Structures are given as C-alpha cells and as structure tokens.
Homo-oligomer: A and B are copies of this chain.
Amino acid sequence: MTQISASELEVMDVLWAHPGLAASDVHEGLGDERGWNVRTVKTFLARLVEKGALRKAEDGRRYLYYPAIKEDAYKAEAATQFIDRVFSGRAAPLVAHLADSRGLTVEDIAELEKLLGELKK
C-alpha cells in the first residue's frame, strides 16, 4: 500500500467518520483550521483514490467518496511501521517516552492498565 501523507490522513479521518461525502462536504468537514482551498482538498481526494485508499461513486454530476481501507487496519500498520522505524520495533520505550515528555493523563494510565490486564489473560 502506498504511503498516505499527514494531510491526506486528515481527509481519511473525515471519511472514516462519515463515509459517502462529496468533495465539498469533506472540505467543510475539515473545518477552518487548515484553511485549505476546496481545490486542494480535491487534489487530496484524487490522490487517495489513485492510491487505492478511497473509492468514488457517481452521484449525479459529482462523486461521493468512501474509504477503501479500514481505519483500524491502517492505523495498526502505521503504528507498527512507526515503532519499527523510530524505536527498532520495541513498544515499551515508546510508552516510556510518552510518559516522560507529554505526561500521560491519569485516565490514559488507567486505560493502559486495563488493556494490559486483558492482554495477560
């Protein structure tokens, strides 16, 4: 699977949350923060279709866009690649760094403990 850039991923996030939007809806869904021109968003959509991450369905004179890859699968893969690349494949140092640098919240810690409890079973 080809690489999805950070900007493209923001587009994917909108469509994972609301599959079947037209380009202009995706543009709106992205909010004003990025300030992207609608044409910029269309470029991202076209590239994501090319990459096989989205598919488009005709709807009158426009298209509706749908994710062609699963959010969970993609993110799991991205996490694995990131950890391989930056932490030589070891997850524990990553969590240690997070703890250090950004301070996990109390809720994060509780959630992680619960997770680990389940994993141990």
Complex contact B112–A92 (CB within 8 A) = yes
Residues of chain A from 82 to 121 with CB closer than 8 A to chain B in the complex:
82-83, 85-87, 90-102, 104, 108-109, 111-113, 115-116, 119-120
Copies of this chain assembled into the complex: 2
* Min C-beta distance of A58 to chain B, whole Å: 31
Residues of chain A from 27 to 74 with CB closer than 8 A to chain B in the complex:
72-73
Number of A interface residues at 8 Å Cβ cutoff, please give it.
38
The A contact surface, by secondary structure, is: helix
Q: What are some 16 contacts across the A-B interface (CB < 8 A)?
A: A6-B85, A72-B97, A76-B101, A77-B101, A79-B86, A79-B94, A79-B97, A80-B98, A80-B101, A80-B102, A82-B82, A91-B104, A95-B95, A99-B115, A112-B116, A113-B113
